[in-house]
Structure 1
């Protein structure tokens, strides 16, 4: 069953893949950050963003599962 919460969960999990697969958007050296070329610091930034998005997706999934259990009387279908 597709719900708005599950769409948000999917977007949280897909966003890092799209960002990393779109290489043309970050395959450059400028702007450098503390001497590190853009190509490298952009990817390292996405490691942190991916962690946050995955954690958010997990928390949303837990909340969605709890609400489904409450609606079904304790059993998830």
Structure 2
């Protein structure tokens, strides 16, 4: 009866998690802000800016997602190790 109730550890906002969020949100912001890339110049090997900008974001999004995943895995590992102590 004298046991203290367990405190549940809810979501915690840390700088690493903010970076993860930014990595995942950046492609959406870049693609939804159409006015920034709705033009034809500068062309890249004959491809109008409108098209190559979007295709570049496919690659950038992949890199940002991998970075976010790696940071998430590191954060989860640190939380498990920190909770075991």
CA positional deviation for 1:33: 0.3
- Number of equivalenced pairs: 74
**Contiguous gaps of at least 5 residues in structure 1:** none
- TM-score, normalised to structure 1, is 0.94
| Corresponding position of 1:24 | 35
- Are 2:23 and 1:12 equivalent residues in the alignment? yes
- Distance in 2 of aligned mates of 1:53 and 1:72: 28
- TM-score, normalised to structure 2, is 0.86
**Contiguous gaps of at least 5 residues in structure 2:** 1-11
CA positional deviation for 1:56: 0.1
CA positional deviation for 1:57: 0.1
Moved over 4 A (4+): none
- Are 2:55 and 1:44 equivalent residues in the alignment? yes
- Are 2:35 and 1:57 equivalent residues in the alignment? no
Rg larger for: 2
